[in-house]
Structure 1
Amino acid sequence: MKNKTLWILGLLTISIISIAYSFTKLANPKKETIAQDCTEIPNTNAGSDFKPTIENKSKPAGKVPKGMVWIPGGEFSMGSNVEDESLCSIKGVTKDAAPIHRVHVDGFYMDQTEVTNEEFEKFVKATGYVTVAEQKPTKEEFPTANEADLITGSVVFTPTPSAVNLNNFLQWWRYEPGADWRHPYGPQSTIKGKEKYPVVHVVYEDAVAYAKWAGKRLPTEAEWEFAARGGKTGNLYAWGNDLKPKGKFQANIYQGHFPIKDGDTGEDGFKGIAPTAQYAPNAYGLYDMAGNVWEWVNDWYSVNYYKSLAESGKTTKNPKGPDAYYDPNDPTEIKRVHRGGSFLCTDQYCTRYMVGTRGKGEYRSAANHVGFRCVKSI
């Protein structure tokens, strides 16, 4: 019997795993790219210099909201001069994070951590909200699908039994019927005991709904990067320029052979997703601004957006992203920006835990490595 979810896999997986899809499109399809050990230093373009960050001096009156920290805002150099997606083999596909350009953002409050399962559960209990992954797809959305194929679910990372060609990401992702924020790996899984883990399997509109209920909003991409940089100028990572200061990882990312079963060595302390706040915060007191789960931000994704800002020759004040989405790899897909990378990011395949780099995802697609955090204007 044919897999009834195959059509959904084709529609949803290709969209949500957008980092991998970029690689699939850009890599030489005739070249076999197998995961390998890698210790290369990121290759940067020395001609694209960062200018100093200038923080705003004003501070808000009143008490800082619970679970949030004050981000002063200011003027900074946004983007990345890292030339390679992977430190090993995938060259040149971080170009959507270039060129570096000057941006000013006003001050705001930001959640210290990604929104957790227990926080999202409070929202659901208070409102009765049903996430997109829990909603049965409709014939209006997928007119060519058979009724029997219209089943709830989401995308789940599935390790491969042995080394594989990294050009085909469909080998390590599957559409899992019944997977959602309560059941991250399918109907038999649970979040019991994982209250402090970041909520996953949420799409953009789920994140927006939670933020509105909480009296908050999603950050712009510029706000997110300013906060992640912690007032520092041009660092590779949210904590500095050394991936492992004093030999210790500062984020939950993937070590070992990707994407092989039991390939993640857990050298950073975790194999797979981790509870929030397991590593030192950045200079603004924010946890997990790299790794663990990707975070939705409010901006549409457009591959040329940074170029258009830089060409203006001006410092852009409070940018809110492009007016329209555009990804030449998926010109018909509606995409929003992701930031921060996830527990699946690895120097063998995706190094977008580097602070200036970008992710992207189809706005109504969910997966078990995508979550969010909120901000609040003063």
Structure 2
Amino acid sequence: MNASSQWLDLDQVEARLCIVTAQQLGMGLDEVQPESRMIEDLNCDSLEMIELIMETEDEFGITIPETPKTPVGKLIFTRQPFRIRDLAEFAFLNQGTGAPVRAGWRKKPIGIVPPPESGFTQLGGRFDTTDFDTSCLHEKLDDASEFPMFRRVIDGMVCIQIPGDTFTLGNDAAGAHDDERPCHRATLSPFLIDIEPVSVTAFCRFLNSVDMQEHDIAMMIALSPNDDRETDLQFQRCEQNWKPRPGTAMQPVVLISWYAADAYSRWANGTDCKNRNGAAKNHGRSYLPTEAQWEYAAAGSFDDQEHLYAGIHQRGKTYESDGLPIPVVHQEYGRSRFGLRHMSGTVWHWCRDWFSPDFYSSGAATQLDPVAEVETGTRSERGGSWVGPIELCRPSYRRGRNPDARGRCLGFRCVGDVPT
């Protein structure tokens, strides 16, 4: 970025862009707001729009392509009406792409290829519930992918629609563990699942957008005073806002409990999770993936083991100064046949189910949309991580963890209902 390399929150980008717009259009700052419409309210014609885009590139040190290449970029630039906050959203997501090199009067030199558009789509800042309609939770993306793609309005996450199917769960191969047996058939209804793990940026947006008391924070994200992992926390509270620590904004969020992941999943799907942390233990629907949904969606992610982010940790290595060696969420590691990233390796993912070693041999495992509902004291986790051996990354590998646990290799993603 032009002013500094610090990651800016979405509200900071919006505020700075309002100033840039007011200066560029010769208007008073009180006349330019994030919700201002470029054409209808600001009378911005084509030439002024081009100049404003160039000023935005210079201000934030980013590249805004003439024709956005990613589905989310196309979605943002085709919104009608187009507002200041839409341009700010694109600028926010493309932090770090670098400003284009220009010669002469703002003309791109022939032969200079502009930096690629960022693939990051998750939003920071705070979610404004004003006039929010939960029936419009997802925006359809215009993309040529095999499976329909949507963008969740609340946090900017791209979701992929997984078709309903009857398939084989489990693993009877030599070397498989007893809790992976037996192989059995199960049927799933269609569902949405996040294309990547929830990022630190999006998790801070959740914390800034919900009403949580100190005891809620303690239950979900706070470490005990004597926990030596304090230096590994990826976010911090600055006055009244939660912000990512330097270098962590686009990493998968870790060190959060199952209750935190569950509360986020409800919030991201338009369910009010205020003061619901205790109730979430036993009541109401969770939007974390079931083990069956996870295993089906992860198909193919273990096939290309050269592109699994696993086994990175070296014995005795500490990370106080460098930060945790976790890749960003939109890097192509552990990709499944549905196009989901980080399904194998990178971070373990909390699942909705209570973990039971013998669940796969029970009748409940073959029901429609199976889920282990009998409380066992531990919640399921799937996917393997950057810490452990690659063998733990196979989609059928099962294990459980205390829902209060926090791990430096443990994150989550959400599922959702298919839009009608």
Q: Answer whether TM exceeds 0.5 for this pair.
A: yes
Scaled by the length of structure 2, the TM-score of the pair is: 0.51
Q: Distance in 2 between matches of 1:300 and 1:68?
A: 24
Residue of structure 1 aligned with 2:245, choices 188, 191, 198? 191
Q: Distance in 2 between matches of 1:210 and 1:75?
A: 29
1:134 touches 1:178 (CA, 8 Å); kept in 2?
Answer: no
Aligned to 1:283: 337
> 1:366 is aligned with what amino acid?
R
Q: Aligned-pair distance for 1:371?
A: 0.5
**Where in structure 2 are the equivalents of 1:139-158 lying within 5 Å?**
153=223
Aligned to 1:338: 381
Q: Distance in 1 between matches of 2:234 and 2:224?
A: 9
> 2:311 is aligned with what amino acid?
Y
Aligned to 1:76: 167
1:115 touches 1:373 (CA, 8 Å); kept in 2?
Answer: yes
Q: Distance in 2 between matches of 1:203 and 1:136?
A: 8
Aligned to 1:253: 310
Q: Which runs of 5 or more residues in structure 1 are unaligned?
A: 1-60, 85-91, 138-150, 157-173, 184-188, 231-237, 244-248, 263-269, 326-333
Determine whether 1:65 maps to 2:150.
yes
1:96 touches 1:358 (CA, 8 Å); kept in 2?
Answer: yes
Q: Aligned-pair distance for 1:96?
A: 1.1
2:204 touches 2:244 (CA, 8 Å); kept in 1?
Answer: no
Q: Distance in 2 between matches of 1:113 and 1:136?
A: 25
Q: Comparing both chains, which one has the higher relative contact order based on Cα–Cα distances under 8 Å and sequence gaps of 6 or more? A: 1
- CA displacement 1:196-229 (0-9 Å, x = unmatched): 1001111111011111111171111101111111
Q: Aligned-pair distance for 1:101?
A: 1.1
Instruction: Specify the SS of the correspondent of 1:345.
Output: coil
Q: Distance in 1 between matches of 2:244 and 2:185?
A: 44
Instruction: Specify the SS of the correspondent of 1:229.
Output: coil
1:78 touches 1:101 (CA, 8 Å); kept in 2?
Answer: yes
Aligned to 1:163: none
Identity over the aligned pairs, expressed in percent? 27
Higher helix share: 2
Determine whether 1:117 maps to 2:169.
no
Aligned to 2:404: 364
1:376 to 1:355, Cα distance in 2 relative to 1, 3 A: same
Q: Distance in 2 between matches of 1:154 and 1:357?
A: 30
- CA displacement 1:135-180 (0-9 Å, x = unmatched): 289xxxxxxxxxxxxx952699xxxxxxxxxxxxxxxxx7535764
Q: Aligned-pair distance for 1:271?
A: 8.0
> 2:375 is aligned with what amino acid?
A
Aligned to 2:298: 228
Q: Aligned-pair distance for 1:260?
A: 3.9
Q: Distance in 2 between matches of 1:110 and 1:299?
A: 16
Aligned to 1:88: none
1:130 to 1:291, Cα distance in 2 relative to 1, 3 A: farther
Determine whether 1:182 maps to 2:262.
no
1:153 touches 1:180 (CA, 8 Å); kept in 2?
Answer: no
Q: Aligned-pair distance for 1:366?
A: 0.8
> 1:363 is aligned with what amino acid?
P
- CA displacement 1:96-119 (0-9 Å, x = unmatched): 111111111101111000000011
Scaled by the length of structure 1, the TM-score of the pair is: 0.56
Aligned to 1:218: 288
1:154 touches 1:367 (CA, 8 Å); kept in 2?
Answer: no
Q: Distance in 1 between matches of 2:191 and 2:416?
A: 6
Aligned to 2:190: 107
**Where in structure 2 are the equivalents of 1:234-245 lying within 5 Å?**
238-240=301-303, 243=305
1:83 to 1:95, Cα distance in 2 relative to 1, 3 A: farther
Residue of structure 2 aligned with 1:273, choices 297, 318, 326? 326
Instruction: Specify the SS of the correspondent of 2:351.
Output: strand
Aligned to 2:103: none
Q: Distance in 2 between matches of 1:155 and 1:288?
A: 32
Instruction: Specify the SS of the correspondent of 1:103.
Output: strand
Number of aligned residues: 241
Residue of structure 2 aligned with 1:321, choices 363, 368, 372? 372
> 1:273 is aligned with what amino acid?
I
Q: Which runs of 5 or more residues in structure 2 are unaligned?
A: 1-137, 141-148, 152-157, 237-242, 271-286
Q: Distance in 1 between matches of 2:224 and 2:384?
A: 19
Q: Aligned-pair distance for 1:132?
A: 7.8
Q: Aligned-pair distance for 1:315?
A: 4.1
Q: Distance in 1 between matches of 2:225 and 2:187?
A: 36
> 1:71 is aligned with what amino acid?
I
1:155 touches 1:176 (CA, 8 Å); kept in 2?
Answer: no
1:221 to 1:346, Cα distance in 2 relative to 1, 3 A: same
